[in-house]
Amino acid sequence: MGGLQMTSPGPKRDVEKTLEPKTASKEAKFGSGNIGFAAKAAANGILDQKHSKEPANVRELLQVLSRGRASPPPAEDDYTRYRHAVAGAPDETTVAYLTSEMLSEHQANEAVGYQRVFGQEFTACPRDLPFNKGPSTSCPGLVEGLKLQEFRLLPVNETLGGTAIVFKDFESSVTLPHFLGEFRGPREDLKAAFTQIAVNGAHLIHGRNQALRQLGSSDSNDKGHAVIFLFCQQRQDLNTYAHFATGENGKVDYHTYLLTRNYPTQSWQLFKQGRRHLRNLQDLAKTNSYALRDHLVKVWNKNHPIVVSTPTPPPPPPPPAARDLAAAPGTRIFFPLNLSLLGAHANANQAQASGGSAQRPPRGCLAGAPSRGGRACWAAAEVYRHR
């Protein structure tokens, strides 16, 4: 696993600057102070952990989570610093900072089109979604996905519906994300944390399924497969979830199934395990994001082929010499002559007739350009060709 430099929250780093701005208070929307939040979510089809079913591809997902990584694991000192920092974390912002150190960093070529955003409200999502009657728009602790520019071959705004883009009036908005996380401080309600991450995940599922339906395509979620993944750092626990939807008779249920429960503060071995689970899930979600983008673009291009018509250019005109030579015998053509040169020819002929001599103009001057001081005009001539 990649070299992990865990530090206590001392000096602020660039990642913390990303964590600071928020457009809404979570407690005002989904937090522990929101009485009946879990009941409202359940009424909207968002199932709690007890009633959520396992996805059809759960065995494959668990194999992916347990897969070894090519990069070296974190050192024991990294674990020690993490354990002490989490134990003293006063709020969810600090927990988010510490947990972000466990995530995999994207390669430079991927970071151009794939991004991670902290603590921003889903401002572009409608507030009257079927699963969101009552609660307001989601504001997850973290979301990762492709930037809007990565869908430049597809008119996302006009085609994929209102939940494809999550941030309003932002040209680099995360679009159709598949990975989302939540962070909770030491004094926050754990049940509310689960409900909130389930509601947030429903936005991702709804956006994906709506995009596929808009293009007349199908989705494996109809068969109970999970392609959306979530995680939640709750106090000293790090849990990963598979999120998917099932439907019958027009009713949609959203399942948030617990894949792994990790305790990264208890031992170095568990710290390495939790980090590996989180990074493997993160990589799988990124793969799913690119796969969906490619599928949507392919379907769009198939239904909207681009027809390129190339107009036939007119034939070029023949060069003047060829045009003149092509004239039939006796055909009158016009070409520019120099009047001063015509006068010179006349004087020369007159001098010859009287026995005198006069300088004749240069050979070919009748077809040449006007001489200095002369002026050109159009004169008629007879063209005869010798057979």
What the block records as the tokens of 366 is 């009748």
Q: Residue 159 — pLDDT band, cuts 50, 70, 90?
A: low
Decide if 310 is inside a domain.
no
Tell me, what's the pLDDT at 97? 86
Tell me, what's the pLDDT at 68? 92
Q: Residue 188 — pLDDT band, cuts 50, 70, 90?
A: confident
Is residue 139 over pLDDT 60? yes
* Residue the block writes with tokens 């060069």: 319
Tell me, what's the pLDDT at 259? 97
> Do 207 and 332 fall into the same domain?
no
Boundary (domain end) residue, out of 303, 333, 366: 303
Decide if 95 is inside a domain.
yes
**Burial environment of residue 182 by CB neighbours within 10 A (0 to 12, 13 to 18, 19 or more):** buried
The average pLDDT across 178-202 equals 88
pLDDT in tens, 361-381: 555 444 444 444 444 444 444
To the question of pTM greater than 0.85 for the whole model, the response is no
Tell me, what's the pLDDT at 121? 83
More confident residue, 158 or 299: 299
pLDDT in tens, 218-274: 665 567 899 999 999 987 889 999 999 998 777 889 999 999 999 999 999 999 999
Decide if 1 is inside a domain.
no
Decide if 314 is inside a domain.
no
Cα separation, 260 vs 54, whole angstroms: 12
Residue 316 contacts by C-beta under 8 Å, 6 or more apart in sequence?
Answer: none
pLDDT in tens, 299-358: 888 877 665 556 677 787 776 655 555 555 555 555 555 555 555 555 655 656 566 555
Decide if 2 is inside a domain.
no
What the block records as the tokens of 298 is 């392919």
> Do 129 and 33 fall into the same domain?
yes
Decide if 311 is inside a domain.
no
> Do 237 and 162 fall into the same domain?
yes
> Do 258 and 328 fall into the same domain?
no
Decide if 291 is inside a domain.
yes
> Do 72 and 218 fall into the same domain?
yes
> Do 40 and 78 fall into the same domain?
yes
> Do 236 and 333 fall into the same domain?
no
Boundary (domain end) residue, out of 272, 303, 334: 303
> Do 34 and 161 fall into the same domain?
yes
Q: Which of 222, 286, 218, 284 is nearest to 248 (CA)?
A: 222
Ranking 17-21, 50-54, 104-108, 225-229 by mean pLDDT, the lowest is 17-21
> Do 240 and 340 fall into the same domain?
no
Cα dihedral 16, 18, 22, 27 sign: negative
**CB-CB contact of 40 with 134 (8 Å):** yes
Cα separation, 148 vs 124, whole angstroms: 13
**Burial environment of residue 286 by CB neighbours within 10 A (0 to 12, 13 to 18, 19 or more):** buried
Tell me, what's the pLDDT at 108? 56
**CB-CB contact of 182 with 232 (8 Å):** yes
Strand order in the sheet with 142-147: 114-118, 142-147, 174-184, 228-234, 237-248, 251-262
Decide if 19 is inside a domain.
yes
> Do 47 and 150 fall into the same domain?
yes
More confident residue, 297 or 28: 297
- The tally of domains found in the chain comes to 2
Cα separation, 50 vs 255, whole angstroms: 10
Is residue 22 over pLDDT 50? no
> Do 227 and 138 fall into the same domain?
yes
Boundary (domain end) residue, out of 275, 303, 331: 303
Q: What is the domain range of residue 347?
A: 320-382
Is residue 123 over pLDDT 50? yes
> Do 330 and 216 fall into the same domain?
no
**CB-CB contact of 243 with 226 (8 Å):** yes
